[in-house]
Structure 1
């Protein structure tokens, strides 16, 4: 029996080598794409840019002349669609493009304004496409320019966007999340956004609103503070800093909000839809430039009330702004209606885009501050 088992194992290896490896390529025959960028040219062409890893620059670090080798190269090409541009890009390279390690898809603002629905089919249909790629919109610039920037810590920035979003306590937004939002009937995509800085680097700059009813075209951008509140409602933000003026104009205090929670309740009466948004969070005092002493219960209560009211007012204004100006449900309120009133949703979903701006939304925020930081009395009062 042992001989038979060994023989079967050998045969299995032979068969797998014959049938499974005939079309495999060696690593030195592949161009490993770690980041991709999509832009829209003035003459109506798709421009595809790929950040390709250069192994010699990563491993060796030094060339024969003593200089430092680049760890990546950015190659661009245009075409009628993404695959056409990719074919034109392949013509420039001596190695076969390999998409299995792509970790980021950057969308230039011009491409976002044109509408990104045209390339969704390729990323879903193409078996070589990586569904775990991050999706980020470039505010006020082109994707290829961001790809060309050398990162501070890593060999190439095509792999850093996930870490950067985690560093700001934002849940990474992958292509599968984008696809789910794009096909959902009760929410509109809200994508992270970056922009070029004066020092020719890039930084997180908030979020981009896309409207899938118009071909996933860019509607508007939210700044970083607005995006934090929107992501709090959608349960994509785990922590952020909030700062408020206190009793006098020159006094301010900052909290780090953590343990963020949200509860969305829907009430339908006839044709009237009401949504109750309840947000909760725990705050830690990280800077106190006021005369308030967080160690005193009365003054701590004042701090909690101040920040709860500030967050509540800001969130209410954000929701009204999105309803009236952008008319796109980035908060997923439609999905809440779907879950809580599945029968009514069958009728409501057909007109949800027109109904959303008219929905009555009430916001309640409760912030509790139990940690005054590493000191009790404000340092300002001790100087």
Structure 2
């Protein structure tokens, strides 16, 4: 018993020493909240990092104390990402810590060059935060985004993720990007941002990358097209549709909060059909037409018009991706694999060449369950007056 007690005491003394001997204190670390990758004209990687300054967060000017900056954007070049990290480390006295990174931003030139060769460190490094949101910048460099001061937050990195959520989209994490990039056939559709003349960021849509060619940039979708694509992928939680109404002499806006998608692959011989069925339910938030949504016939007219106009727009987007970019960003190949696993074995090796020839049909059904607190539009009352 005494021997067991001595052994326990020895373990209690040894474990803390062996577990904490290399632990760094927070005031010895530089916390990186955002990382940007740009490709220089000299063929090097430019790593830009948004490093938080704790003393600048929550500070005020009360009492004559001037508020400090909440972050510092620093950059360094290197032959690869780690080489750039080492060169950046030489500029600061604290150890860089990437475990709290919230955002990865890819510059336009880097996206054109291809980012596949620079992804290894993000997977290999145990500090790498796979829940970091990832973005591509159009017509600008990643480092320029980190210099933007947002309206509500002291730092731009959390703002970008909130922007995606505010638009009804699911956050696009780095782990999602890796999953798609390592899939059999699906090409990544990465959220796209740009910088305007007022030095503010703008959500600009989506960037299509080619996982079969070093993740090089293929092309872009604008903001509305990217939302349509994410609806097909099941990544859209809410959406607003506005369209002119037939025989209504005006337009109607519907805000949908119930979004569903269904994809059915139907191979027949050498012919492949893909049926996409999208449904949305919501409320009428604005009615500038002559129609009365409390009347069933008028409500049906509104629903039919909104469904048809949205269906046409989505079909045009799908055709653009299929014929112009020839990239399966919709995971149709993955659906084929799940629904027809035996047939997929023969189609998969040639899916890249087959996808542009697939016959894709889009069907959209929009329902307005709640017409609001009024009947016909106020427009009718103004006309009557």
The TM-score, its normalising length taken from structure 1, stands at 0.95
Query: Is residue 2:340 matched to residue 1:329?
Result: no
Find the counterpart in structure 1 of residue 183 from structure 2.
184
Q: Paired residues, what number?
A: 382
Residue 345 of structure 1: how far off its partner (Å): 1.6
Find the counterpart in structure 2 of residue 109 from structure 1.
108
Q: 1:169–1:239: 8 Å Cα contact kept in structure 2? A: yes
Please identify, of 82-91 and 246-255, the stretch whose mean Cα deviation from structure 2 is larger: 246-255
Structure 2 distance, partners of 1:217, 1:125, is 21
The superposition leaves residues 265-309 of structure 1 with CA deviations (integer Å, 9 ceiling, x where unpaired) of 111112211111111111311111111111111110000000111
Distance of aligned partners of 1:63 and 1:178 in 2 relative to their CA distance in 1, 3 Å threshold: farther
Q: How does 1:297-308 map to 2 (within 5 A)?
A: 297-308=296-307
Query: Is residue 2:254 matched to residue 1:255?
Result: yes
Q: 2:248–2:289: 8 Å Cα contact kept in structure 1? A: no
The superposition leaves residues 73-108 of structure 1 with CA deviations (integer Å, 9 ceiling, x where unpaired) of 000011111111111111101110000000000111
Find the counterpart in structure 1 of residue 370 from structure 2.
371
Structure 1 distance, partners of 2:288, 2:200, is 31
* 3-state SS in 2 of match to 1:136: strand
Residue 36 of structure 1: how far off its partner (Å): 0.8
Distance of aligned partners of 1:87 and 1:248 in 2 relative to their CA distance in 1, 3 Å threshold: farther
Find the counterpart in structure 1 of residue 79 from structure 2.
80
The superposition leaves residues 197-232 of structure 1 with CA deviations (integer Å, 9 ceiling, x where unpaired) of 232111211111111111111111111110111000
Structure 1 distance, partners of 2:61, 2:216, is 44
Q: 1:186–1:338: 8 Å Cα contact kept in structure 2? A: no
Residue 59 of structure 1: how far off its partner (Å): 4.2
Find the counterpart in structure 2 of residue 380 from structure 1.
379
Residue 382 of structure 1: how far off its partner (Å): 1.9
Residue 375 of structure 1: how far off its partner (Å): 2.2
Find the counterpart in structure 1 of residue 273 from structure 2.
274
Residue 6 of structure 1: how far off its partner (Å): 11
Structure 1 distance, partners of 2:249, 2:12, is 75
Structure 2 distance, partners of 1:108, 1:222, is 17
Query: Is residue 2:126 matched to residue 1:127?
Result: yes
Q: 1:265–1:276: 8 Å Cα contact kept in structure 2? A: yes
Distance of aligned partners of 1:139 and 1:262 in 2 relative to their CA distance in 1, 3 Å threshold: same
Find the counterpart in structure 1 of residue 135 from structure 2.
136
Structure 2 distance, partners of 1:65, 1:52, is 26
* 3-state SS in 1 of match to 2:322: helix
Residue 56 of structure 1: how far off its partner (Å): 0.6
* 3-state SS in 1 of match to 2:181: helix
Find the counterpart in structure 2 of residue 204 from structure 1.
203
Structure 2 distance, partners of 1:66, 1:180, is 48
Structure 2 distance, partners of 1:217, 1:358, is 23
Find the counterpart in structure 2 of residue 49 from structure 1.
48
Q: CA RMSD in A?
A: 2.1
* Structure 1 gaps, min length 5: none
* 3-state SS in 2 of match to 1:160: helix
* 3-state SS in 2 of match to 1:68: coil
Please identify, of 279-288 and 231-240, the stretch whose mean Cα deviation from structure 2 is larger: 279-288
Find the counterpart in structure 1 of residue 228 from structure 2.
229
Q: 2:246–2:305: 8 Å Cα contact kept in structure 1? A: no
Residue 5 of structure 1: how far off its partner (Å): 8.1
Find the counterpart in structure 2 of residue 316 from structure 1.
315
The TM-score, its normalising length taken from structure 2, stands at 0.94
Distance of aligned partners of 1:7 and 1:155 in 2 relative to their CA distance in 1, 3 Å threshold: farther
Structure 1 distance, partners of 2:49, 2:90, is 13
Distance of aligned partners of 1:5 and 1:165 in 2 relative to their CA distance in 1, 3 Å threshold: farther
Structure 1 distance, partners of 2:137, 2:6, is 57
Structure 2 distance, partners of 1:202, 1:312, is 30
The superposition leaves residues 139-178 of structure 1 with CA deviations (integer Å, 9 ceiling, x where unpaired) of 1211111011112222211122222211111000000000
Structure 1 distance, partners of 2:199, 2:179, is 33
Q: 1:63–1:69: 8 Å Cα contact kept in structure 2? A: no
* Structure 2 gaps, min length 5: none
Structure 1 distance, partners of 2:145, 2:6, is 54
* 3-state SS in 2 of match to 1:231: helix
